[in-house]
Amino acid sequence: MDQVYKDHKIQVSAWPDLSGWKPGVVVTYSEGGKHILKNITMDRIFPTCDEAEQAGLAYVRKWIDDGKPDLGL
């Protein structure tokens, strides 16, 4: 699933885990004249691929809305 949100390109995917689906997100954007790429994974597992992708999208949108705080990754 690809989406542009507030000038950020978001690519969401999910992969199977032993007990469900785990979301992962790649976000690309420009800031201060630099092109930035962030890989964001969530430790939470979801029962379906679609739920995992939707949760990943919601998570990264909130991260953007919150000013892109340090994720401690």
- Of 25, 31, 23, the residue nearest 67 (C-alpha): 31
For the record, the structure tokens of 64 come out as 């953007």
Which of 36-65 are b and which e, b meaning 16 or more Cβ less than 10 Å from the residue's Cβ? eeeebebeebbeebeebbbbbbebbbebbe
Does the predicted TM-score (pTM) go above 0.95? no
Which positions of the chain have pLDDT values less than 50? none
CB 63 within 8 A of CB 21: no
pLDDT attached to residue 72: 65
Rounded to whole angstroms, how far apart are CA atoms 38 and 15? 18
